[in-house]
Amino acid sequence: MKIKAIALACSAFGVFASGHVAAQTPAPFSTPELKVILSGATAPDNFLVQIATGLFEAGFHRFQDNNGTAANFGDDGRGYNAFYGRVKNDATVPATLRGRTVLFVKRSRGGSVWGVNPVARASRIETLDITSTTCVLEATIYRCSVKGLDPGLAGFANPALNLGEVSDFGVSDVEPAMFKGPFNVEFGVSQLAAAEVARLEVKPVNALSMGIVATNSVPADTWLSRSAYGAMLSGTYQDWSQVDPSIGSGNTQVVVCRRVQGSGTQTSYNWFFNNFPCQSDFGGTVPPSRMTDSASGITGGTGTQADPFTIDPTAGFTVVENSGSGNVRDCLRSAQNNLDHNFRGDDGNWYRVQFSNSTEPFRAIGTLSGDSASSANPSQNGWSFRYLDGAGVFNINNSTLAGGPGTGMAPSKANMIDGKYDFMVELTMQYRKVPAVNEQGDNVAALSGLKLAFVNEFIKRAGDPAFNASPWVAALPPTFDPTSSPNVAKGTRFGNTCSPMQMLF
């Protein structure tokens, strides 16, 4: 049942006031001493709670976006997560931060480039609107609306209309230099100039595995080579019979559940399968397919949330551009289970892919990093990670074969650490080291003081082997020694995705 946040906040504070927690936990909508905004890649989202738990005293508050559907809690948190509490007063955190009340906001909507371009330009962008009148408490988490405008949308540069906020630092699946036009830049803006890139202090954090995925209607013994997967991503193969001649019934058309331009995950796939932007004079690129390449095109609607643009996947080859990894997972699940897939595009319009137009499951592939393995239960979600250059279903969480012959290279942590599975990227975090004047006319200072202390602590924790215990990440050498921890990779590209992997141990 929904409870208005302001009423519950008051009652909760009254309960806390009689015990120890009152001295440690601020009321959910009180003014923090420090507010820090991180924007960009979804990859760190799975260990945000772990880092927050390590930084904050017990009882901190959590907030998520309501995805524009206040009555539906099942789709919340796709774009934003936030934590508000009191920093622990002990030796595990820097002395300047101990006991401070901090509101930490993470924007994931749009993906990695939102941790690069708007950070360098100090742009106001859409953010979570955390107030007692815009948030509702549901199952221990406040679900809130959003505020502000993103680049490319009408009124973005008008400070009176754009009530968004400026990110303090950003995170991206790959280094800022990878976000180049025309395939790796967010909607409505241009790539950073060299002088804008120079504003950023860039720090490599960890190694992150990417994966190839398919819905359960793609047989577990279907051989998925790098070339065939890339051909589907690029639209050269538009029917599954071109990949596996045994697939000749039902919906044989290829469905691609990809990310929007500017996503770090999408940028990683554009590098690995399309050679962009790493091309040389002797080798070009193959453009990745866009939503506009879908066979049906737009079949109806006006693009509003109430009347979204519609796409008919029964017409043939279909490409769906999703804002976040959660939306990609929704797309895969919907394709498998014939559920309509509703989402907001990076152009601000709403779309509906009408998978319900068929009673047969659709065979889809996607663009996802290994961190989505926490949701990759084939029996519940309709899709799974697959072996690269082979056949089989792989369970990343426990590193086991889950179906099929298990040939090729598994996206396991052991293979990633040993350099055998090289579809991996190096996540970076970056912040402004010089002032910048943004499009709204704000003169935004370089990161400093308490904010810089908090950001550096967050980056340190994100890169530490202790925070890289998950099966899809690893700390980086030579900063850390793989002989001293099972969570450290033996090789690195030294923060240059276009460089070959160099084994150091």
Cα angle value 456/462/466 (rounded, 5°): 125
Predicted local distance difference test score (pLDDT) of residue 256: 98
Helices (H) and strands (E) in the chain, counts: 11, 29
Residue 449: C-alpha distances to residues 40, 90, 96, 232, 484 (Å): 22, 20, 9, 48, 33
Give the CA distances from residue 414 to residues 51, 207, 391, 393, 428, in Å, rounded to whole numbers and listed in that order: 24, 13, 19, 17, 22
CA 32, CA 250: separation in Å to the nearest integer? 56
- Of residues 195 and 46, which shows the higher confidence score? 195
Q: What is the pLDDT of residue 379?
A: 62
pTM for the predicted model, two decimal places: 0.83
Determine the pLDDT at residue 7.
39
pLDDT-based confidence at 21, cuts 50/70/90?
very low
Q: Would you state the torsion angle of the CA atoms of residues 389, 393, 399, 401, taken in this order, to the nearest 10 degrees?
A: -100
Q: How confident is the model at residue 50 (pLDDT cuts 50, 70, 90)?
A: confident
Query: What are the residue ranges of helices labelled H in 1-113?
Result: 5-16, 21-24, 45-55
In whole angstroms, what is the distance from residue 501 CA to residue 323 CA?
29
117 three-class SS: helix
Q: What's the whole-number average pLDDT of the chain? A: 91
Average pLDDT over residues 64-72: 85
Q: Please name the helix (run of DSSP H) or strand (run of DSSP E) that holds residue 170, with its range, or none.
A: strand 169-172
Residue 205 has pLDDT above 90, yes or no: yes
- Three-state secondary structure call for residue 138: strand
- Percent of all residues in the chain with a pLDDT value above 70, rounded to a whole number: 93
Residue 15 has pLDDT above 50, yes or no: no
Q: Are 113 and 189 in contact (CB under 8 A)?
A: no
Q: Give the separation between CA 155 and CA 373, rounded to whole angstroms.
A: 39
249 contact partners, CB below 8 Å, separation of at least 6: none
Kind plus residue range of the DSSP H or E element containing 385: strand 383-386
CB 367 within 8 A of CB 257: yes
Above 50 in pLDDT, residue 482? yes
Residues of the chain above pLDDT 90, percent: 79
Q: What pLDDT sits at residue 16?
A: 34
Q: How confident is the model at residue 72 (pLDDT cuts 50, 70, 90)?
A: confident
- pLDDT of residue 73 exceeding 70, the answer is yes
Q: Where do the CATH 3.40.190.10 domains begin and end in the chain?
A: 210-417
Alpha helices, H only, 137-281? 194-197, 226-234, 264-274
The class that CATH gives domain 210-417 is: alpha beta
Pairing of β 318-322 and β 400-403: unpaired
| Residue 397: exposure state from Cβ atoms within 10 A (0-12, 13-18, ≥19) | middle
pLDDT tens digit sequence for 332-373 = 999 999 999 999 998 989 999 999 999 999 999 999 999 898
Amino acid at 33: E
Could you read off the pLDDT of 89-145 as tens digits, one per residue?
Answer: 999 999 999 999 999 999 998 888 899 999 999 999 999 999 999 999 999 999 999
* Residue 53: predicted pLDDT: 84
For residue 359, how many C-alpha atoms fall within 13 Å in the half-sphere facing its CB?
0
Q: First vs last Cα of the chain: how many Å apart?
A: 55
Residue 22, pLDDT above cutoff 60: no
The owner of tokens 């440690």 is: 24
